[in-house]
Amino acid sequence: MSNPEKEYTQPIGLDVGTSRLVVARTKEKKYEYDSQLNAFLTLPYSKLAESLLQRENVFHEIQGSEIVVAGNDAEKFAEVFHTETRRPMANGVLNPREPHSLAVVRRLLTKLLGKAASEGQKVYFSVPAAGESLDGAIPYHTASIKQVLSDLGYQPTSIEEGLAVVFGELGGSNFSGIGISCGSGLCNVCLAILSVPVISFSVPKAGDFIDAQAALVTGDLSTRLRVQKEKAFRLNGFSEDRVQNALTVYYHEMVNNLVTTLLTQISSTQRLPKLDQSVPLVLSGGTVMPSGFLDHFATVLRSRDLPLKLSDVRISADPLNSTARGALMAALC
């Protein structure tokens, strides 16, 4: 770790995402970000393999008879060996079916953050909101991440991901409006008024759902589909390309599910405040980045009778870093 990072004593924002871990810091009144892919793969241990990984400066760890390659380097090796990367997290929380989950996250967070410059340095980290299929997983996940950060000397505080988006994107509306983070594992949603969360929930159909379903019907690897989706996919109708068509079908399903759940949650709440003015809705996360996503989302939203007036619907100018930035702003408050 470089000396400037060691000397950094200001609060830190941390997005603990299913796909990526993102750290946000401030330096000379500007935001700085660092990230690692939240993934890994294992290779059989050999002295030769270990020597080659060290020579190439690949981030790895020896665990018994295996070499665990984690972070950004994991994706490079997955392409080489034509295999899927493994995820330490699933649906926004630590993966209960993955024995390496907590160890990999600990290694990646240590790489990104290092030891706290001073005991009790503040870090706000994102956690998912309650939602379908999460059951009691969120308390365990939150406590585990807190323990990792505490072991590094930080004073950790959790913040729900949707609320972090509100902090990061809706300062111009006094932190009132709807923040939505569409990541890999979940879509997290928060309606806040003056920074106070009124409605907060998560939806399980997100980026990983799209990749997995499209892979199922095309016979390709989810990892390859995710890379193609991030680099070249456009949500602008059907074409001759079967992969594009598969991604389009499941993007439509994801958006319909998200909008339907949003409508249901707002309509069913008993404590929805009366608002004299309309509020903005902002979308963030890697899943919203394909060209055409905003138009399709807005079209579906307009087709429903949402019991809330929206002033505008937009995508964050920096959707991959929005949650980390919002967590940092909360830490600075």
- pLDDT value at residue 59: 86
Q: What pLDDT digit, counting tens, does each position of 131-177 carry?
A: 987 878 999 999 999 999 999 999 999 999 999 999 999 999 999 99
Full DSSP string of 7-30: H--S-EEEEE-SSEEEEEEEETTE
Residue 77 clears pLDDT 80, i.e. is over it: no
Q: What pLDDT digit, counting tens, does each position of 177-207 carry?
A: 999 999 999 999 999 999 999 999 999 999 9
- pLDDT value at residue 7: 56
Quote the CA–CA distance of 44 and 50 in Å, as a whole number.
10
Mean pLDDT score of the chain, rounded to an integer?
A: 91
3-state SS, residue 153: coil
Q: What pLDDT digit, counting tens, does each position of 20-74 carry?
A: 999 999 988 899 999 999 999 888 888 888 888 888 788 888 888 888 889 998 8
Kindly report which listed range (5-9, 170-174, 182-186, 208-212) carries the lowest average pLDDT score: 5-9
Quote the CA–CA distance of 164 and 190 in Å, as a whole number.
9
**In the block, residue with structure tokens 């729900």:** 160
The answer to whether the CB of 26 falls within 8 A of the CB of 10 is yes
Quote the CA–CA distance of 22 and 16 in Å, as a whole number.
7
Two tokens, residue 220: 């390709």
Quote the CA–CA distance of 164 and 329 in Å, as a whole number.
8
**Do strands 66-70 and 40-44 pair parallel, antiparallel, or not at all (unpaired)?**
antiparallel
| Strands, sheet with 187-193, edge to edge from the N-terminal-most edge strand | 196-203, 187-193, 177-182, 279-284, 310-315
**Count helices and strands in the chain by DSSP H and E runs:** 11, 15
- E strand or H helix at 255: helix 242-268
Residue 1 clears pLDDT 70, i.e. is over it: no
Could you give the residue range(s) of every CATH 3.30.420.40 domain in the chain? 172-315
153 exposure class (CB count in 10 Å sphere: 0-12, 13-18, 19+)? middle
* pLDDT band (50, 70, 90) for residue 230: confident
* pLDDT band (50, 70, 90) for residue 14: very high
Residue 3 clears pLDDT 70, i.e. is over it: no
The answer to whether the CB of 186 falls within 8 A of the CB of 204 is yes
- pLDDT value at residue 156: 98
Quote the CA–CA distance of 289 and 327 in Å, as a whole number.
21
Question: What is the reported pTM?
Answer: 0.91
Question: Please, what is the angle between helix 161-169 and helix 322-332, to 10°?
Answer: 80
Q: What pLDDT digit, counting tens, does each position of 79-111 carry?
A: 776 677 899 999 999 999 999 999 999 999 999
What is the second-level CATH architecture of the domain 172-315?
A: 2-Layer Sandwich (3.30)
Residue 6 clears pLDDT 60, i.e. is over it: no
